Protein backbone atom coordinates (compact mmCIF):
# COMPACT_ATOMS: atom_id res chain seq x y z
CA UNK A 1 0.00 0.00 0.00
CA UNK A 2 1.41 3.37 -0.99
CA UNK A 3 0.47 7.03 -1.38
CA UNK A 4 -0.65 7.33 -5.00
CA UNK A 5 -0.12 11.02 -5.82
CA UNK A 6 0.83 14.42 -4.46
CA UNK A 7 3.61 15.49 -2.13
CA UNK A 8 3.99 12.01 -0.59
CA UNK A 9 3.65 10.07 -3.82
CA UNK A 10 5.19 6.61 -3.66
CA UNK A 11 5.67 6.50 0.12
CA UNK A 12 4.79 3.04 1.42
CA UNK A 13 2.27 2.92 4.25
CA UNK A 14 1.98 0.36 7.01
CA UNK A 15 -1.27 -1.44 7.76
CA UNK A 16 -2.31 -2.81 11.14
CA UNK A 17 -1.50 -6.50 11.48
CA UNK A 18 -4.22 -9.13 11.41
CA UNK A 19 -7.57 -9.23 9.69
CA UNK A 20 -9.41 -6.70 11.86
CA UNK A 21 -8.46 -3.87 9.48
CA UNK A 22 -9.20 -3.92 5.75
CA UNK A 23 -7.14 -1.16 4.11
CA UNK A 24 -8.77 0.66 1.21
CA UNK A 25 -7.21 -0.69 -1.97
CA UNK A 26 -5.04 1.61 -4.09
CA UNK A 27 -7.43 1.44 -7.05
CA UNK A 28 -10.41 2.36 -4.84
CA UNK A 29 -8.52 5.32 -3.34
CA UNK A 30 -7.48 6.46 -6.83
CA UNK A 31 -11.07 6.24 -8.09
CA UNK A 32 -12.38 8.19 -5.08
CA UNK A 33 -9.70 10.88 -5.50
CA UNK A 34 -10.51 11.23 -9.20
CA UNK A 35 -14.21 11.52 -8.45
CA UNK A 36 -13.50 14.25 -5.88
CA UNK A 37 -11.42 16.24 -8.35
CA UNK A 38 -7.95 14.74 -7.88
CA UNK A 39 -6.19 17.57 -6.04
CA UNK A 40 -7.30 20.14 -3.49
CA UNK A 41 -6.54 23.65 -2.33
CA UNK A 42 -7.07 23.31 1.41
CA UNK A 43 -10.04 21.97 3.31
CA UNK A 44 -10.62 19.48 6.11
CA UNK A 45 -11.26 15.73 6.02
CA UNK A 46 -12.57 13.39 8.70
CA UNK A 47 -11.43 9.77 8.26
CA UNK A 48 -13.68 7.58 10.45
CA UNK A 49 -12.54 4.03 11.25
CA UNK A 50 -9.30 5.13 9.63
CA UNK A 51 -7.37 1.85 10.00
CA UNK A 52 -4.01 2.68 8.43
CA UNK A 53 -4.99 6.30 7.71
CA UNK A 54 -4.39 5.74 3.99
CA UNK A 55 -7.46 7.67 2.79
CA UNK A 56 -6.82 10.74 4.94
CA UNK A 57 -3.10 10.68 4.14
CA UNK A 58 -3.85 10.45 0.42
CA UNK A 59 -6.08 13.53 0.73
CA UNK A 60 -3.39 15.41 2.69
CA UNK A 61 -0.83 14.48 0.04
CA UNK A 62 -3.16 15.94 -2.61
CA UNK A 63 -3.63 19.30 -0.89
CA UNK A 64 -6.22 18.94 1.87
CA UNK A 65 -5.02 21.17 4.71
CA UNK A 66 -6.10 19.21 7.82
CA UNK A 67 -7.22 15.68 8.61
CA UNK A 68 -8.79 14.10 11.66
CA UNK A 69 -8.33 10.34 11.98
CA UNK A 70 -10.72 8.37 14.19
CA UNK A 71 -10.13 4.77 15.20
CA UNK A 72 -10.68 2.99 18.53
CA UNK A 73 -8.01 0.33 17.94
CA UNK A 74 -4.67 1.03 19.68
CA UNK A 75 -2.90 -0.92 16.91
CA UNK A 76 -4.53 1.21 14.21
CA UNK A 77 -3.75 4.44 16.08
CA UNK A 78 -0.09 3.42 16.31
CA UNK A 79 0.02 2.69 12.59
CA UNK A 80 -1.71 5.98 11.70
CA UNK A 81 0.81 7.94 13.80
CA UNK A 82 3.72 6.03 12.20
CA UNK A 83 2.35 6.65 8.68
CA UNK A 84 1.87 10.37 9.40
CA UNK A 85 5.47 10.59 10.64
CA UNK A 86 6.72 8.71 7.57
CA UNK A 87 4.90 11.24 5.37
CA UNK A 88 5.97 14.21 7.54
CA UNK A 89 2.34 15.21 8.07
CA UNK A 90 1.90 15.08 11.84
CA UNK A 91 1.44 18.86 11.95
CA UNK A 92 -1.59 18.57 9.63
CA UNK A 93 -3.33 15.81 11.53
CA UNK A 94 -5.24 15.00 14.68
CA UNK A 95 -5.64 11.36 15.74
CA UNK A 96 -8.62 10.54 17.96
CA UNK A 97 -8.33 7.11 19.63
CA UNK A 98 -12.07 6.78 20.17
CA UNK A 99 -15.05 5.00 18.71
CA UNK A 100 -17.06 7.00 16.17
CA UNK A 101 -19.81 8.05 18.61
CA UNK A 102 -17.40 9.54 21.13
CA UNK A 103 -15.31 11.28 18.46
CA UNK A 104 -18.38 12.72 16.71
CA UNK A 105 -19.76 14.02 20.01
CA UNK A 106 -16.49 15.85 20.65
CA UNK A 107 -16.19 17.18 17.10
CA UNK A 108 -19.79 18.46 17.16
CA UNK A 109 -18.74 20.80 20.01
CA UNK A 110 -16.10 22.46 17.82
CA UNK A 111 -16.77 25.23 15.30
CA UNK A 112 -14.82 23.42 12.56
CA UNK A 113 -16.78 21.75 9.77
CA UNK A 114 -15.42 19.17 7.33
CA UNK A 115 -15.36 19.20 3.55
CA UNK A 116 -15.32 15.39 3.48
CA UNK A 117 -16.17 12.67 5.98
CA UNK A 118 -14.92 9.25 4.86
CA UNK A 119 -16.77 6.39 6.56
CA UNK A 120 -15.30 2.88 6.28
CA UNK A 121 -16.06 0.84 9.42
CA UNK A 122 -15.51 -2.91 9.76
CA UNK A 123 -18.11 -4.36 7.42
CA UNK A 124 -19.09 -7.36 9.51
CA UNK A 125 -19.98 -5.33 12.61
CA UNK A 126 -23.09 -3.57 11.27
CA UNK A 127 -21.64 -0.10 11.93
CA UNK A 128 -22.11 1.54 8.55
CA UNK A 129 -25.71 2.65 9.02
CA UNK A 130 -25.33 4.02 12.57
CA UNK A 131 -22.06 5.82 11.79
CA UNK A 132 -23.38 7.45 8.60
CA UNK A 133 -26.50 8.55 10.50
CA UNK A 134 -24.36 9.87 13.37
CA UNK A 135 -22.17 11.91 10.99
CA UNK A 136 -25.26 13.45 9.41
CA UNK A 137 -26.87 14.14 12.82
CA UNK A 138 -23.69 15.69 14.26
CA UNK A 139 -23.84 18.43 11.59
CA UNK A 140 -20.05 18.44 11.21
CA UNK A 141 -19.99 18.43 7.38
CA UNK A 142 -20.16 21.77 5.57
CA UNK A 143 -23.30 22.51 3.58
CA UNK A 144 -21.37 21.90 0.35
CA UNK A 145 -19.40 18.99 1.83
CA UNK A 146 -19.78 15.25 1.35
CA UNK A 147 -19.99 11.99 3.24
CA UNK A 148 -18.19 9.22 1.39
CA UNK A 149 -19.12 5.66 2.38
CA UNK A 150 -17.12 2.53 1.62
CA UNK A 151 -19.34 -0.51 2.11
CA UNK A 152 -19.41 -4.15 1.03
CA UNK A 153 -21.03 -4.87 -2.30
CA UNK A 154 -23.64 -7.45 -1.37
CA UNK A 155 -27.39 -7.77 -1.05
CA UNK A 156 -27.02 -8.52 2.64
CA UNK A 157 -25.27 -5.22 3.26
CA UNK A 158 -27.75 -2.39 3.47
CA UNK A 159 -27.56 1.04 5.00
CA UNK A 160 -29.85 4.01 4.78
CA UNK A 161 -29.22 7.38 3.24
CA UNK A 162 -29.84 9.86 6.09
CA UNK A 163 -32.73 12.28 5.83
CA UNK A 164 -31.61 15.48 4.16
CA UNK A 165 -28.85 13.76 2.14
CA UNK A 166 -28.80 12.38 -1.39
CA UNK A 167 -26.54 10.06 -3.40
CA UNK A 168 -24.57 11.84 -6.14
CA UNK A 169 -22.21 9.05 -7.18
CA UNK A 170 -21.91 5.32 -6.56
CA UNK A 171 -19.39 2.86 -7.97
CA UNK A 172 -18.50 -0.77 -7.34
CA UNK A 173 -14.90 -1.98 -7.12
CA UNK A 174 -14.55 -5.71 -6.57
CA UNK A 175 -16.04 -6.51 -3.14
CA UNK A 176 -16.71 -2.89 -2.20
CA UNK A 177 -19.00 -0.08 -3.23
CA UNK A 178 -18.22 3.59 -2.73
CA UNK A 179 -21.06 6.10 -2.37
CA UNK A 180 -20.88 9.90 -2.26
CA UNK A 181 -23.59 11.75 -0.34
CA UNK A 182 -24.34 15.48 -0.33
CA UNK A 183 -26.89 17.47 1.60
CA UNK A 184 -30.15 17.58 -0.30
CA UNK A 185 -30.90 20.97 -1.80
CA UNK A 186 -33.28 23.11 0.20
CA UNK A 187 -33.29 25.76 -2.52
CA UNK A 188 -36.87 26.36 -3.54
CA UNK A 189 -35.99 29.13 -5.99
CA UNK A 190 -36.50 26.90 -9.02
CA UNK A 191 -40.12 25.97 -8.25
CA UNK A 192 -41.36 28.27 -10.99
CA UNK A 193 -42.21 31.19 -8.71
Residue ranges of E strands in the chain? 44-48, 66-70, 93-96, 114-119, 141-152, 165-173, 176-183
Which residues, 6 or more positions from 117, have their beta carbon under 8 angstroms from its beta carbon? Answer: 45, 46, 48, 135, 140, 141, 145, 146, 147, 148
- On the question of pLDDT at 39 being above 60, the answer is yes
When pLDDT is cut at 50, 70 and 90, the band that residue 40 belongs to is: very high
- On the question of pLDDT at 19 being above 60, the answer is no
When pLDDT is cut at 50, 70 and 90, the band that residue 1 belongs to is: confident
Q: What is the DSSP letter of 49?
A: T
Q: What is the pLDDT of residues 78-133, one digit of tens each?
A: 999 999 999 999 999 999 999 999 999 999 999 999 999 999 998 878 899 999 99
- On the question of pLDDT at 20 being above 80, the answer is no
- On the question of pLDDT at 70 being above 80, the answer is yes
DSSP bridge pairs for 182: 146, 166
Residues 52, 53, 55: CA angle, nearest 5 degrees: 120
Q: How far apart are CA 189 and CA 41, in angstroms?
A: 30
Task: Name which of 156, 151, 188 is nearest 167 in CA terms.
Answer: 151
For the chain, give the percent of residues with pLDDT over 70: 91
Domains of the chain and any CATH numbers = 26-183 (3.40.50.150)
Would you call 186 helix, strand, or coil by DSSP?
Answer: coil
Question: Using an 8 Å Cβ cutoff, are 67 and 116 in contact?
Answer: no
Q: How far apart are CA 49 and CA 23, in angstroms?
A: 10
Amino acid sequence: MRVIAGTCRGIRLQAPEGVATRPTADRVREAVMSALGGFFDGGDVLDICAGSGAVGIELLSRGIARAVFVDPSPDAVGVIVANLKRCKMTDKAQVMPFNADKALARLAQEPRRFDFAYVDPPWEEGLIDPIVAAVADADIVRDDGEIIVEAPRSRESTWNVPDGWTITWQRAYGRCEVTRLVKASTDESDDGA
